[in-house]
A = this chain, B = another copy of it.
């Protein structure tokens, strides 16, 4: 990744939140036009598009982009569950790295309120989900197993939500910007024991975009140091690791190896906190601490804004909201803003290397449909 090292020229997002009155294309235009403007490019400069969408109708990406004049170019729309947006980013970065295209748009959009009244409903083909073993139950299973193996306390779990909501208060585009206490989190309605409502992210409508091209070493370019994408392996309940650990760990190992760095080199992270236990397991799988130490890590303050390695300075999915196809690119946007020093009240000091992790889907028998880990850096601060 040296000669044609890919860089992010610009990013943009819509507001995240329940916006049933806003047409999907309009959310997409907000994100895309902001990213293009940030990159100093016009729509006609874009040579190819890699897009993420899970529940969008066929053609929603084309109809959206055509509205701002991005036409006749290759458009690859990717479904990879919650990791769809980061999968689009991963493919866009490779397209630049391999010299296939310059000026590539990575784009994600999701109108969740169009598809669901409240939580995501299990799909026809999801036999487990239709028996009640939907995503919250799957993460709750991991949490219960984790409690059994490592004695994480309810307070430690709740602190993930408290931290991310505190971070999100400084993010003007986040869905929920309110202070929460451990007591409030634990007193909220039980969704799937031990996960209460405020430990589960909310569905959201939103769009996010990034414009990539070869690194020009410009002041505002943020370099993609490495990116890795994997699907999951079969998961066996007799595994010594809780569900979801392996796929994140293996994907991160590949990303670290390609980047030639380790977890200790990372200044800040945006990770997939769809549920509080998700962030706990992910911080361990990413190597911020040993397996089983995640509860103590959040309690120690290590991952809070202003401390050693802030995790989810944007507020994460728990505060920003989860617009599936857009989420990964909103994570990328946050890291880019942070690395440029543009993150306002939630700015991480001396941010030089940031990591994005998104894990999508999975069943009791698969430890994730897909996971992407990308490492971004700036050299000009």
Q: Interface residues, chain A, CB within 8 Å of chain B?
A: 24, 49, 53-54, 56-60, 62-63, 65-66, 71-81, 87, 91, 94, 98, 100, 114, 123-126, 229-234, 247, 250, 361-363, 365-366, 369-370
- The closest CB in chain B to the CB of A73 belongs to B231
Separation of A72 and B366 alpha carbons in the complex (Å): 10
Separation of A60 and B54 alpha carbons in the complex (Å): 12
Separation of A71 and B366 alpha carbons in the complex (Å): 9
Q: Are B80 and A79 in touch, CB under 8 angstroms?
A: no
Q: Are B231 and A75 in touch, CB under 8 angstroms?
A: yes
Q: Are A234 and B98 in touch, CB under 8 angstroms?
A: no
State how many angstroms separate the Cβ of A178 from the closest Cβ of chain B: 30
The interface residues of chain B lying within 8 Å CB-to-CB of A362 are 59
Q: Are A60 and B125 in touch, CB under 8 angstroms?
A: yes
State how many angstroms separate the Cβ of A115 from the closest Cβ of chain B: 8
Q: Are A71 and B369 in touch, CB under 8 angstroms?
A: no
State how many angstroms separate the Cβ of A366 from the closest Cβ of chain B: 6
New A-B pairs, 20, CB < 8 Å, besides A57-B123, A57-B124, A59-B363? A53-B79, A57-B125, A58-B81, A58-B123, A58-B369, A59-B361, A59-B366, A62-B232, A63-B125, A63-B363, A65-B231, A66-B365, A72-B230, A72-B232, A73-B231, A74-B231, A75-B231, A77-B79, A94-B100, A114-B125
The interface residues of chain B lying within 8 Å CB-to-CB of A74 are 229-231, 370
The interface residues of chain B lying within 8 Å CB-to-CB of A72 are 230-233, 247, 250
CB-CB nearest 9 A-B residue pairs: A57-B123, A71-B233, A98-B98, A62-B369, A75-B231, A74-B229, A59-B369, A77-B79, A57-B125
The interface residues of chain B lying within 8 Å CB-to-CB of A77 are 78-80
The interface residues of chain B lying within 8 Å CB-to-CB of A62 are 231-232, 361, 366, 369-370
Separation of A49 and B230 alpha carbons in the complex (Å): 10
The interface residues of chain B lying within 8 Å CB-to-CB of A80 are 75-77
Separation of A73 and B94 alpha carbons in the complex (Å): 16
Separation of A251 and B230 alpha carbons in the complex (Å): 31
Separation of A318 and B87 alpha carbons in the complex (Å): 35
Q: Which of B57, B66, B124, B366 contacts A234 (CB under 8 A)? A: B66
The interface residues of chain B lying within 8 Å CB-to-CB of A234 are 66, 71
Separation of A250 and B76 alpha carbons in the complex (Å): 18
- The closest CB in chain B to the CB of A230 belongs to B72
The interface residues of chain B lying within 8 Å CB-to-CB of A369 are 58-59, 62, 75
Q: Are B78 and A76 in touch, CB under 8 angstroms?
A: yes
Separation of A78 and B126 alpha carbons in the complex (Å): 20
Q: Which of B124, B229, B366 contacts A63 (CB under 8 A)? A: B366
Q: Are A76 and B81 in touch, CB under 8 angstroms?
A: no
7 contacts between A and B (CB under 8 A): A56-B125, A57-B124, A63-B363, A73-B230, A75-B369, A76-B78, A98-B98
State how many angstroms separate the Cβ of A73 from the closest Cβ of chain B: 6
Separation of A340 and B362 alpha carbons in the complex (Å): 40
Q: Are B87 and A76 in touch, CB under 8 angstroms?
A: yes
The interface residues of chain B lying within 8 Å CB-to-CB of A66 are 231-234, 365-366
State how many angstroms separate the Cβ of A263 from the closest Cβ of chain B: 21
